[in-house]
């Protein structure tokens, strides 16, 4: 049982003695920011005093007295502070237990949660049109989506990573026409694609190729390659063409009609999305007989439920108006409202040569994701996207990221990992063997740096679960930076292999380093960043 649960049940018992029944899960246990407030703290007296008709400070004192009379394991003192906080002071032994637990779990099991066991989730992200390379802004969705998927997996979910290829519609005809025009040495048509890559691709294109089919495949391969270089791989590539040929679109329309949600007006076919909170009804089939993008999209999402009981779409801020209509459609098809979730990410602004770079494929002159990866490196590119919340717009000065790549936080974290591995190499070279953990006395780990590092390591399981629930992989980045900082501080002040270090201390410290290796390994994997053994 972890410390938090341990303290919760102790408090629950004490509350029971005071005549207050409380579910242990509802007792707040947190890590105070200020060390003077102990190792763990509970606000339970403040939270329940009113309901119990008690003075919070007195209630807290009563709880503290009860707990001090028969202290829970590891607890050395229970104190009352402030308006009625119950603060616990723990012996370092609780952190030594944490260390043993981490080593026992290993990279495979540490910070793994079972909250999602038996559930499946389908995450769709990037889904760029197959009309050109990915621009740097797409990199944010690739990094975010993939790390979110890894978080879900770590929490026990079965995950499908999905990319929807819109290989159909007017933009494809324009793309094909642009390739044909460039091939003939002419300018693309009105509304066509003016990017430099179209000129290059047109030269590659065989004379007898179908420009649309060839261009789609060319763009797709280009995108797959860049995504793979960023460590973002997909399980399922959905094609709008195949969807249309399968009859799924007609089936979806039939089902909506059967449900009574469809009506005709002004020659068009509408969906009454206002029934489910949308601001206005939406057109499914235009008066010219052509379906809007919305109808096949509904069919596509309906189909996705066969690849996950929960659907998550990751979209850019310009698509937020899309949320209410698709949510409405999914409910019309009988899916629970909370089974469909759209995560809206704010946009990336790219600065290059001191000026804002355009991200439009049609206008040309864009910064490609490929450029960013080649200039800054895959790890820097990926972690840069995962430094901040997707709720904030991100400004990336490409020149700055490249120029300062050696100062990038990714190296700070990777260097910590490299140090961990260099210890093993040095130990081997000096003939220092690591004794089995069971034979090592961890209680010698009492240096503030050792305890600080252990505290950080103890927080990874909570961090992972919180990051998954908040759909916020950047919280793992923050943790990894804190872990690296704690390791570097420990490294500086706590020598291990030096001759004057006691063998007992050396062994305990080597196991602490091993636990750090596990923590860093788990977090870097979640972030999709490599964990180099030397730098």
Site for RNA in 316-355 (CB under 7 A): 317-322, 344, 346-347
Distance CA 526, CA 460 (A): 12
Residue 210 in contact with RNA, rule: CB under 7 A? no
Instruction: Pick between residue 183 and residue 282 the one whose CB is nearest to RNA.
Output: 282
Residue whose C-alpha is closest to residue 128's, from 176, 174, 170, 166:
166
Residue 521 in contact with RNA, rule: CB under 7 A? no
**Sheet strands (E) in 125-198:** 158-165
Of 108-116, 328-336, 375-383, 416-424: span binding RNA (CB under 7 A): 416-424
Residue from 72, 112, 485, 504 that binds RNA (CB under 7 A)?
Answer: 485
Residue from 14, 15, 20, 43 that binds RNA (CB under 7 A)?
Answer: 43
Q: Between β-strands 310-316 and 340-345, what pairing exists: parallel, antiparallel or unpaired?
A: parallel
Instruction: Pick between residue 36 and residue 433 the one whose CB is nearest to RNA.
Output: 36
Distance CA 57, CA 227 (A): 57
The interface mask with RNA, positions 489-518, x = CB under 7 A, is x-xxxxxxxx--------------------
Closest separation between CB of residue 319 and RNA, Å? 6
Residue 527 structure tokens? 């972030």
Residue 523 structure tokens? 């977090």
Please give the helix or strand (H or E) that residue 424 lies within, else none. helix 409-429
Q: How far is CA 8 from CA 41, 381, 482, 505, in A?
A: 11, 42, 27, 33
Instruction: Pick between residue 1 and residue 36 the one whose CB is nearest to RNA.
Output: 36
Residue 286 in contact with RNA, rule: CB under 7 A? yes
Residues between 371 and 410 with contacts to RNA, criterion CB under 7 A? 387-389, 391-395, 406-407, 409
Of 100-108, 220-228, 374-382, 419-427: span binding RNA (CB under 7 A): 419-427
Q: Between β-strands 268-271 and 262-265, what pairing exists: parallel, antiparallel or unpaired?
A: antiparallel
Closest separation between CB of residue 458 and RNA, Å? 17
Residue 418 in contact with RNA, rule: CB under 7 A? yes
Distance CA 154, CA 108 (A): 9
φ, ψ of residue 121 in degrees (nearest 5): -140, 140
Half-sphere exposure of 327 (CA within 13 A, CB side): 19
Closest separation between CB of residue 55 and RNA, Å? 10
Residue 276 in contact with RNA, rule: CB under 7 A? no
Closest separation between CB of residue 168 and RNA, Å? 8
| Cβ burial 35-72 (10 Å sphere, 16+ → b, else e) | eebbbbbbbbbbebbeebebebbebbbbbbebbeeebb
Residue 107 in contact with RNA, rule: CB under 7 A? no
Residue from 169, 274, 351, 435 that binds RNA (CB under 7 A)?
Answer: 169
Residue from 22, 87, 180, 327 that binds RNA (CB under 7 A)?
Answer: 87
Instruction: Pick between residue 109 and residue 170 the one whose CB is nearest to RNA.
Output: 170
Residue from 279, 334, 336, 448 that binds RNA (CB under 7 A)?
Answer: 279
Residue 266 in contact with RNA, rule: CB under 7 A? yes
Residue 56 in contact with RNA, rule: CB under 7 A? yes
Closest separation between CB of residue 297 and RNA, Å? 8
Residue whose C-alpha is closest to residue 417's, from 494, 464, 481, 465:
481
Q: Would you give the distance in Å from CA 315 to the centre of its chain?
A: 14
Residues between 287 and 306 with contacts to RNA, criterion CB under 7 A? 287-288, 290, 292-294
Residues between 66 and 85 with contacts to RNA, criterion CB under 7 A? 81-83, 85
Please give the helix or strand (H or E) that residue 352 lies within, else none. strand 348-352
Residue 135 in contact with RNA, rule: CB under 7 A? no
């Amino acid at each position: 049982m972890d410390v938090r649960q341990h303290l919760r049940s102790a408090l629950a018992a004490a509350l029971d003695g005071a005549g207050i029944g409380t579910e242990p899960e509802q007792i707040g246990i947190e890590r105070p920011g200020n060390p003077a407030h102990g190792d763990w703290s509970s606000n339970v007296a403040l939270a329940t005093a009113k309901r119990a008709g008690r003075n919070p400070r007195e209630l807290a004192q009563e709880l503290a007295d009860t707990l001090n009379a028969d202290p829970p394991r590891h607890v050395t003192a229970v104190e009352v502070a402030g308006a009625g906080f119950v603060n616990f002071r723990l012996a370092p032994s609780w952190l030594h237990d944490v260390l043993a637990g981490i080593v026992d779990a290993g990279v495979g099991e540490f910070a793994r949660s079972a909250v999602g066991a038996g559930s499946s989730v389908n995450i769709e992200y990037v889904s760029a049109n197959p009309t050109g390379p990915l621009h740097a802004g797409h990199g944010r969705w690739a990094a975010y989506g993939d790390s979110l998927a890894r978080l879900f997996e770590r929490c026990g979910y079965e995950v499908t990573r999905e990319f929807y290829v819109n290989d159909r519609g007017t933009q494809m005809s324009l793309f094909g026409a642009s390739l044909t025009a460039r091939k003939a040495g002419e300018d693309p048509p009105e509304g066509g694609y003016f990017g430099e890559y179209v000129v290059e691709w047109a030269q590659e294109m065989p004379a007898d190729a179908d420009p649309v089919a060839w261009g789609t495949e060319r763009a797709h391969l280009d995108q797959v390659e860049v995504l793979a270089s960023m460590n973002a791989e997909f399980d399922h590539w959905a094609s709008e063409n195949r969807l249309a040929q399968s009859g799924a679109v007609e089936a979806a329309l039939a089902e909506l009609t059967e449900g009574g949600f469809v009506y005709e007006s002004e020659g068009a076919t509408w969906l009454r999305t206002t029934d489910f909170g949308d601001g206005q009804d939406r057109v499914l089939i235009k008066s010219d007989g052509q379906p809007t993008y919305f109808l096949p999209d509904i069919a596509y999402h309906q189909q996705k439920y066969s690849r996950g009981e929960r659907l998550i779409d990751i979209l850019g801020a310009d698509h937020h108006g899309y949320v209410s209509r698709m949510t409405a459609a999914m409910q019309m098809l009988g899916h629970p409202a909370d089974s469909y979730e759209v995560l809206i990410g704010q946009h990336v602004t790219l600065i290059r040569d001191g000026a804002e770079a355009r991200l439009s494929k049609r206008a040309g002159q864009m910064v490609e994701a490929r450029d960013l990866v080649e200039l800054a490196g895959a790890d820097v590119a990926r972690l840069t996207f995962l430094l901040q919340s997707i709720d904030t717009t991100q400004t990336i000065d490409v020149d700055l990221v490249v120029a300062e790549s050696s100062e990038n936080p990714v190296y700070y974290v990777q260097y910590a990992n490299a140090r961990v591995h260099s210890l093993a190499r040095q130990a081997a070279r000096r003939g220092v063997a690591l004794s089995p953990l069971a034979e090592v006395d961890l209680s010698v780990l009492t240096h503030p740096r050792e305890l600080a590092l252990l505290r950080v390591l103890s927080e990874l399981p909570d961090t992972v679960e919180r990051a998954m629930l908040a759909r916020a992989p950047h919280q793992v980045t923050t943790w990894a930076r804190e872990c690296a900082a704690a390791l570097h501080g420990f490294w500086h002040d706590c020598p291990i292999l030096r001759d004057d270090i006691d063998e007992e201390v050396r062994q305990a410290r080597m196991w602490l380093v091993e636990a750090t290796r596990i923590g860093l390994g788990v977090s870097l994997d979640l972030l999709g960043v490599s964990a180099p053994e030397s730098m």
